[in-house]
Structure 1
Amino acid sequence: MSRDQKMDPPAPQAPITDAGMLLGVRKVSVLMPGIIVFAVAFGAAASAKGLSFLETMLMSAFVYAGVAQLVAMELWRPEWSWGAIAGLAVVTATVNARMVLQGASLQPWFAKYPKVLNAFHLFFFTDANWLIGTRYQAEGGRDLGVLVGAGLALWLVWVIATGGGYMLGALVSDPSRYGIDLVMPIFFAAMIVPLWRGRRGTVPWVVAGLVALVTARLVDGYAFIIVGSLAGAITGAFRDDAA
């Protein structure tokens, strides 16, 4: 075997296929109603806060942060100081910190693909992609087209629905008033159930939930997302080492 053959990792057999992208679109279609409702709520909230239509659309297209965008609207103000900007950055970074753990959980899959392809699809990476990818990988799937297709479909729907929400104005600017804030948690709960792997996963799940609840009661803001996730991950790691 030559030196080049030893240094170059084997290329994946199916880096990305059209069939995989279509499969991703089908898998994510069940989440579309919740995504649309949340995007409409964000667009309406942005309109109520005084953002222009262009600013709102650009935020959804290029920031594309889902829940973090709604959180940002809650903290939005007509006049900004450097302290307020820093505070908003910390809060949104905290909300999005879960993506670090989600990406790490799928890294063994991602690592087999070119960095350019990973950089592209990770821009569209969301909670929904992670749930879909985790289930798909657990079933033996390896075609990254599933994540690319799901991500592109979600992004497109999010941007379009944001525009519709902006046009509706303040009609659904308060998601909790209509129970909209419960839509995504219900979808995520339904998607997570098939990931259950028996009693072995009980302890990390329970620890993560309890720590997150306690943190939410004791600490203002969204620190419970990071603390709960880390508690569950560390617990799971120690249990794996002890096995």
Structure 2
Amino acid sequence: MPGMDSEFDRDTAVTLREPGVYDAELSAGWTIIQAVNGGYLLALLGRALGDALPHPHPFTISAHYLTPSVPGPAVVRTETVRTGRTLSTGQASLFQYAEDGTEVERIRVLASYGDLDALPDDVRTTAKPPAIPPREHCLGPSDGPAPIPGSSAITERLDIKLDPTTLGWAVGAPSGKGEMRAWFGLADGRDPDPLSLLLTVDALPPTSFELGLTGWTPTVELTTHIRCRPAPGPLRVSITTRNLAGGFLEEDAEVWDSADRLVAQSRQLARAPRG
């Protein structure tokens, strides 16, 4: 079990107030451009559901982002929908407070939880790990990509090394391909686990940057599948967008662990930036 010496674990902590109700504090350390990062929020909700449900690990979790979240106090309300022998299903909503004290719903999720350690070892797949150069040949924020307007506090908590072929946007020459690939870890060295994978799928720069668009790309809906417990060590993340139309785009993410296993998949619908 990860310890609370990790900033990720401290900042996704929830405190049980009463059955089904958890208090939380959204940290300013996970903000990007204008708002708290959606993957960080998903991990926080995932932690609350993991406490509320009888099974420990998220298998699939779908989140609808209703209003932007901001640093500060929050309340998570959970409900157990169904409990079975191998899967349990629950829903959760995160609320913050308006200036007049009323609750404003930020995110609503529906999730099924199980036990990853009880799954069979049989794997039949045509999926292959992304072709990313060795980590020492990839580039991170300290290597000088162009800054993006607004807060970039989250980059200080992540250890991301981007494939140079997906970094054209940083030098004013986006490829137009809608691809983003990177080595990924947490800056404090915490090893990945099923919960942190919920952050991983939404922690890279948006593919819209490589499509020549800059600015905030707010998530409308994000569905994540956790396939197995990741091995210790760095992850490889590949995100692609095939279709931007009507002001919206999809991002399909794959996360691979150090043992060359596909450990997480996701798809999100996001509003395209206007840049």
- TM bucket (normalised to shorter chain) is under 0.3
Q: Which has the higher contact order (CA 8 A, sep 6+)?
A: 1
Please say which structure displays the higher CA radius of gyration: 1
> Which structure: greater strand fraction?
2
> Which structure: greater helix fraction?
1
Q: TM-score, normalised by structure 1?
A: 0.26
